Structure 1
Amino acid sequence: MLRYLMAIPALALLGVGASAQTQAGSHNPVVKNGAPHQVAAPAKGANSFTEDQARGRFTKAGYTVASKLTKQDGLWQGAATKGGKRMTVMLDYKGNITTR
């Protein structure tokens, strides 16, 4: 009987820990997949992409990068064309692409 009384609180704690992990989710969803996403505004944060990786994400999204990319304020940015239109493209630390 004493064994059962000791086991119940231990099992209850295991159940609470597991449910807390599934409910909380991720507080910092960085790049989850390789697909580039278009967003209205870039996310602020330190960018760990290399220039080649940033160029690859722009190319994958259909942009032709026409200039050297520079990193400013955590954003990779440069001149690019898509559909005959010239624009400035930016890549944030999450891998999201924005244009101006």
Structure 2
Amino acid sequence: MRQTLTTVALLTLLGLSPVAAQTTVTGKPAPDAATSESSGGQKAVARPNTDRPDANTPSTTATASGAKLEEGANSFTEAQVRHRLDEAGFKDAKDLKKDDKGIWRGTAMMNGKAVPVGVDFKGNVAAPH
């Protein structure tokens, strides 16, 4: 009896697996739609930019001036913003304040010059003109 119950339970579980994995398709895909594989798939939404200046290569300072800061609800603390700026090669950040668009702004030293800096909600670091 015990073996029969175990067998029934096992068969029930195995029988439900394909049902749980099925999906329902409604409508038809667009005739010119590319597959995810051929289109490169979905990109990460909250990925910080990687075009940051390198403190050891002064010529990369212009890279940060080209980075775009995005508006949004920013949960970074001032300490986290300072850390991001340090990682990007900016030193001695001063007057850091979060503006009404969620972007931390202030000034920092880069290659011996004080420059305006910003950090957005994604962690992007930029030195806007």
- Does 2:115 match 1:87? yes
Q: RCO greater where, 1 or 2, for CA within 8 Å and sep 6 or more?
A: 1
Unaligned segments of structure 1, at least 5 residues? 1-5, 17-22
- Does 2:70 match 1:70? no
Tell me the TM-score normalized by structure 2: 0.52
Amino acid in structure 1 at the alignment position of 2:107: A
- Please state whether the residue corresponding to 1:69 is helix, strand or coil: strand
Deviation at 1:44, TM superposition (A): 1.5
Name the count of aligned residue pairs.
Answer: 86
Q: Which runs of 4+ in 1 moved over 2 A?
A: 9-12, 23-26, 28-32, 35-40
Percent identity between matched residues is: 36
Could you say what the CA RMSD is over the residues aligned between the two structures, in angstroms?
3.4
Structure with greater Cα Rg: 2
Higher strand share: 1
In structure 2, relative to structure 1, the CA distance for the partners of 1:25 and 1:66 (3 Å cut) is closer
- Please state whether the residue corresponding to 1:55 is helix, strand or coil: helix
- Matching residue within 71, 96, 104 for 1:44: 71
Tell me the TM-score normalized by structure 1: 0.65
Unaligned segments of structure 2, at least 5 residues? 1-14, 26-35, 53-63
Which whole-Å CA distance do the structure 2 matches of 1:75 and 1:45 have between them?
8
In structure 2, relative to structure 1, the CA distance for the partners of 1:79 and 1:12 (3 Å cut) is closer
Which whole-Å CA distance do the structure 1 matches of 2:75 and 2:51 have between them?
16
